[in-house]
Structure 1
Amino acid sequence: MEQDFAQARRLMVEHQIRARGVSNERVLAAMREVPRHLFVPEDLRYAAYGDHPLPIGEEQTISQPYIVAVMTELLSPEPGDRILEIGTGSGYQAAVLGRIVREVWSVERIASVAAQAERNLEAVGAANVHVVVGDGTLGLPERAPYDGIIVTAAAPSVPEPLFDQVADGGRLVAPVGSRHLQDLVCYTRRGGDFVVRSWGGVAFVPLIGTYGWEV
């Protein structure tokens, strides 16, 4: 069975990700290595490598593999980087980043979701990923600055505190828009300014918090 999952990962990367334009070799390698099926409910493992999001409980989802790859590539992670993730979910995105960078800090609002993510991350040996329960829209200023910040839920606008936590030259990737449809944007810090570019339309669950949506 594990051999079947490994083959499914290789096919996922080649057909769903590389073939659609993701070319960062570090990203492709990480997604070949991280066992996505261990980050979804056991009764959905058969569907873990399909090109679609899956429910993980508490009205949360694990993003489709292609979007995980796109967001990771937009972040341009380097081996020495420290990354902040807003919205841990099942821990899969953090695990992918953890295969590339030095350290990942991830903030999750729902304690039960964070606890499951920690178990998932421990199961795959992601010792450089740290999960914190809290309001992700505030970031994690005590560990700032970060070489990259990735937001994995939809906000009406990028939470203001996050801009202050991006290191010079660092990037911030987030889906911004309505509760149902967003634009995936990437901000790059250049001193006191940010250069922004848009990737395109996406659909994420809402980001709940002080600088996000109300419950």
Structure 2
Amino acid sequence: MVERQIRTFDVTDLGVQARMKDVPREIFVDPTLASLAYSDARLTLASQPPRELTAPLILARLLKEARLREGERALVVAGATGYAAALVAGLVGSVVSLDDDEAFAARAKANFETLGLGNAKSVAGPLALGAPAEAPFDVVIVDGVSQGEFGPLFGQVADRGRLLAIVSERTGARMGKAMLYQRAAAGGAFSPRALFDASAGALAAFAKPPEFVF
């Protein structure tokens, strides 16, 4: 996976590469999909509505662009069974995985315990509201395609922190542009920067409200 997918997608960060090698992705997917855990195929977890795991090469590139540092506090939104947060856990001081599906949150907690990740925590709650009790965060990663309605999440980003997400203008889209939103100064506004084209599962929690048409 690392040699054929990750490195070929401009993921040169050795720390990210090492985490992709060390974390067993098969424990985060449904048992029937274990044989496909390291492929670049779309993997859908059993839930209602169904949830896709972001492809390894897209997730690794996001983590590279996040420039995670030792000692930082991180939040993964739409963390599902905890794979992204497990990767992040080895690169920062602590990480919170948030999901609005309580079954996913429970599976993430169990997976963290299985891997001995004492600095990873799983919480359940509405995605759009973030994890205010755990804030502020140096970095927030939204794991899916959204329309960029991140108001409460921006409020949980620490001074000079950043938020990364895949954003599309279309409701329910599975393709978009990976974006980095950087808070340039203490209490300041966020500066957006487009990074690369990306695909992932759609996140309805961050859809724009419908506009009234005369």
* Equivalence for 2:83: 92
Query: Which deviations, in whole Å up to 9, do the C-alpha atoms of 1:31-66 show, x marking residues without a partner?
Result: 111011111111211111112331121101211110
Structure 1 unmatched ranges of 5 or more: 1-11
Give the aligned partner of residue 28 of structure 2.
Answer: 39
Q: 2:92 aligns with which of 97, 101, 113?
A: 101
Q: 1:133 to 1:212 in 2, by over 3 A?
A: farther
Contact 2:70 2:92 (C-alpha < 8 Å) held by counterparts: yes
Number of the residue aligned with 1:7 = none
Q: Is the 8 A contact 1:183 1:200 kept in 2?
A: yes
- Measured after TM superposition, the shift of residue 153 of structure 1 is 2.3
More helix by share: 1
Paired position in structure 2 for 1:48: 37
Q: Is the contact made by 1:89 and 1:113 (CA closer than 8 Å) also made in structure 2?
A: yes
Contact 1:156 / 1:176 at 8 angstroms: preserved in 2? yes
CA distance, structure 1, for counterparts of residue 192 and residue 27 of structure 2: 34
Kept in 2, the 8 Å contact 1:173–1:185? The answer is: yes
Structure 2 residue ranges without an equivalent (≥5): 210-214
Aligned-CA RMSD value: 1.6
* Contact 1:89–1:114 (8 Å) recurs in 2: yes
Residues of 2 paired with 1:208 and 1:142: CA distance?
23
Q: Which amino acid aligns with 1:45?
A: A
For residues 175-208 of structure 1, give each alpha carbon's deviation from its aligned partner in whole angstroms, at most 9, with x where no partner exists: 1112123221111111202221112332332324
- Which residue of 1 is the match for residue 118 of structure 2? 127
The equivalent residue for 1:206 is 202
Q: Does 1:28 align with 2:17?
A: yes
Compute the TM-score of the two structures, normalised by the length of structure 1: 0.88
Partner Cα separation in structure 2 for residue 64 and residue 117 of structure 1: 18
What residue number does 2:176 align with? 182
Identity, % of aligned pairs? 34
- 1:73-129 CA-to-partner distances (Å, cap 9, x unmatched) read 111110111001111112110000011111001210011121122222222222211
- Note closer, same or farther for the CA distance 1:89–1:75 as it changes in structure 2 (3 Å cut): same
Once the two structures are TM-superposed, the CA of residue 71 in structure 1 deviates from its matched residue by 1.1
Judging changes above 3 Å, is the alpha-carbon distance between structure 1 residues 87 and 213 closer, same or farther for their aligned structure 2 residues?
Answer: farther
**Worse-matched range after superposition: 101-110 or 197-206:** 197-206
In structure 2, what is the equivalent of residue 19 of structure 1? 8
> 4+ residue runs of structure 1 moved beyond 6 angstroms?
none
Q: 1-side partners of 2:43 and 2:126: how far apart?
A: 23
Count of paired positions: 202
Shift of 1:213: 6.6
8 Å CA contact 1:40–1:48 kept in 2: the answer is: yes
